[in-house]
Amino acid sequence: MDFSDCEPVVGPPSEDLLPASAAMAVKVVIVGGFGVGKTTLVSSVSEIRPLTTEETMTQESAGVDDIAGVERKTSTTVAMDFGRISISDELVLYVFGTPGQERFWFLWNGLFEGALGAVVLVDTRRLEVSFEVIGRLEERGVPFVVAANTFPESPSYPTEELRAALDLPPEVPIVDCDARTRESSRDVLMALMRYLYNLSAQPVP
């Protein structure tokens, strides 16, 4: 894959995070509504100990955060998650997970700086929490793929039904995902890389 025209990664937590054999690092962002599994995906796929900013939820969030469907969730990301995965000997991905609650979305500007693309993680039990997230990516012009995360008792929809429900254009890839497993999470990132490569190979209008 040729990513020679991509912007450099901005703001990795430490300068020693790039393996000596790697020629290039690119930044991707994992986004989604509250409780869709972003921290789980970053933690499962990272080859280094992930950096997380999980904090225990308190009564102060009652009436502020919509926990419908995830009532058993006891912690939440308040800044970002960070991990790293080597796609090949030469290409490394820095993976940043965003907070899900709207009150922390002001952090998106910094997290998206220098990002090549994004993964939108969705919970098919609560598709509505993904609508505004997708809208914000489209407004920013950030290329993305959609990954339907597997939860117990999650309904399974045909791809085209899911595409229609999320109002996605036909070219945006939709993949299944189990964020708990490294292999599945890696496949999601590979789907994003293939999509970005295909976009880069298209002639400029």
Supply the pLDDT for residue 78.
Answer: 47
Q: Does residue 65 form part of some domain?
A: no
Show the tokens assigned to 76.
């939440």
**44 found inside a domain:** yes
Backbone angles phi, psi at 29, to 5 degrees: -125, 140
Structural domain includes residue 15: no
Domain assignment present for residue 85? The answer is yes
pLDDT at residue 104, rounded to an integer? 57
Q: Is residue 4 part of a domain?
A: no
| HEC-encoded secondary structure of the chain | CCCCCCCCCCCCCCHHHCCCCCCEEEEEEEECCCCCCHHHHHHHHCCCCCECCEEECCHHHCCCCCCCCCCCCCEEECCCEEEEEECCCCEEEEEEECCCCHHHHHHHHHHHCCEEEEEEEEECCCHHHHHHHHHHHHHHCCCEEEEEECCCCCCCCCHHHHHHHHCCCCCCCEEEECCCCHHHHHHHHHHHHHHHHHHHHCCCC
Nearest to 119 by CA among 66, 187, 24: 187
How many structural domains does the chain have? 1
pLDDT for 174 equals 98
Cα separation of 182 and 189, whole Å?
11
pTM of the model: 0.78
* Range of the structural domain that residue 110 is part of: 20-58+73-199
> How confident is the prediction along the chain (205 residues), in pLDDT tens digits per residue?
444 444 334 344 444 555 555 668 899 999 998 889 999 999 999 999 988 765 554 444 444 445 454 445 444 544 588 999 998 888 899 999 988 666 556 666 778 889 999 999 999 999 999 999 999 899 999 999 999 999 888 898 999 999 999 999 999 999 999 999 999 999 999 999 999 999 998 876 6
Q: Check residue 5 and give its pLDDT.
A: 42
13 in a structural domain: no
CATH of the domain at 92: 3.40.50.300
Please tell me the predicted confidence (pLDDT) of residue 17.
57
Please choose, from the candidates 73, 80, 98, the residue with its C-alpha nearest in 3D space to the C-alpha of residue 13.
Answer: 80
Q: Which pLDDT score, from 0 to 100, does residue 152 have?
A: 83
